[in-house]
Amino acid sequence: MDREVVLEGLSAVLGVSIRLLSDGDSGNADVLTVEKFLAAAWFGYDMLKCLDPVSALAKYFASFFIADTPGGEQSGAEEESANSALRKELFINEKEFFDPKYDYDFTNTTDSSACKRGDEPYKRPCGWNRIALKVKGKYEDDVWLGPDGWRSSSAPGEWPVSFHGTTIDGAKGIIQSGYKTGPREAYGRGIYSTPDIDVAERDGYAKTFTSKNTGKTYKIVLQNRVNPEHRKICVKENYWLVPVPGGTSAEREREIVNSAIRPYGLLLK
């Protein structure tokens, strides 16, 4: 996958122009590390303090990626402030952000063999191209990722795989639509994802963008691992919830999410 297309995908996801860091930029550039991206994927908050103005950016991600049941729209002023914040230009250090040895092109793969991750069926993202994020060593251990290489069975301690549409509007749809278990009853507040890549694509939660470099239109989705101890399986088939109770402090929200759901790849198609 052309790195310029990947950068365009990141730009589409975050609403910020993303460029590769060069020697000439290193002195005064706003650098988006993989740690900050992992935080921004869900809410932003203090992880992005070096970005200015972070308060609007944090509100923007928080309002869409962790939300209460239906409602909770942004005010016009908040939306305008957020849009202003998202016109920034950020830079990434390619060697520190991506992990090419774990890239995998599933474009021509057919999922004919059953396999598991975290004792759950793993439906490989056939037709997609995975760009690996450099997440090894970013947490207390790497057990959650499981061992390297192809295998059909789960490894002890690894987490199952899920997919999360990265479009801001799509995330708003997942989290605020409140998949019903009964009249006026929703699953709850938190982060929803699905173990089925086709669901993530079919239900419209993949961000779509057109590349200026290739002229082609792409979709982009996050590939994650979900801690089974912090996951609820929704009654609606093929959706998982990481609950984040209302009234939780920003610091505690980060702790919950970091211990429960971790993106490790960008999927493009």
pLDDT digits (tens, 9 = 90+) for 79-99: 444 444 444 688 889 999 999
Secondary structure class of 114 (helix, strand, coil) = coil
Least confident of 4-8, 40-44, 72-76, 153-157: 72-76
pLDDT for the residue numbered 25:
62
What is the rounded distance in angstroms from the CA atom of residue 26 to the CA atom of residue 60?
27
Most confident of 12-21, 117-126, 179-188: 117-126
What is the rounded distance in angstroms from the CA atom of residue 178 to the CA atom of residue 188?
7
What pLDDT band is residue 27 in, cutting at 50, 70 and 90? low
pLDDT digits (tens, 9 = 90+) for 56-69: 333 433 333 443 33
pLDDT digits (tens, 9 = 90+) for 212-267: 999 999 999 989 999 999 998 887 668 888 888 777 787 787 788 888 989 899 99
Sequence-distant (≥ 6) Cβ neighbours of residue 265 within 8 angstroms: 102, 130, 131, 132, 133, 222, 223
CB 163 within 8 A of CB 221: yes
CA-to-CA dists, residue 146 to 109, 196, 235, 240, 263, angstroms:
21, 19, 28, 20, 14
Average pLDDT over residues 8-31: 78
Of 245 and 7, more confident: 7
Is the pLDDT score of 30 beyond 50? yes
What pLDDT band is residue 28 in, cutting at 50, 70 and 90? low
> Crossing angle, helix 168-176 and helix 54-65, to 10 degrees?
50
pLDDT for the residue numbered 181:
34
What is the rounded distance in angstroms from the CA atom of residue 80 to the CA atom of residue 56?
9
**Helix-, strand-, coil-residue percentages of the chain, each rounded to 5:** 30, 25, 45
Question: What is the phi/psi pair of residue 188, to 5°?
Answer: 130, 180
Beta-strand relationship, 261-268 and 104-105: unpaired
- Sequence-ordered strand ranges (E) for 49-141: 89-92, 104-105, 116-117, 120-121, 129-132
CA-to-CA dists, residue 174 to 65, 186, 189, 211, angstroms:
9, 12, 11, 26
> Crossing angle, helix 76-85 and helix 54-65, to 10 degrees?
120
Secondary structure class of 48 (helix, strand, coil) = helix
Chain-centroid distance, C-alpha 185: 26
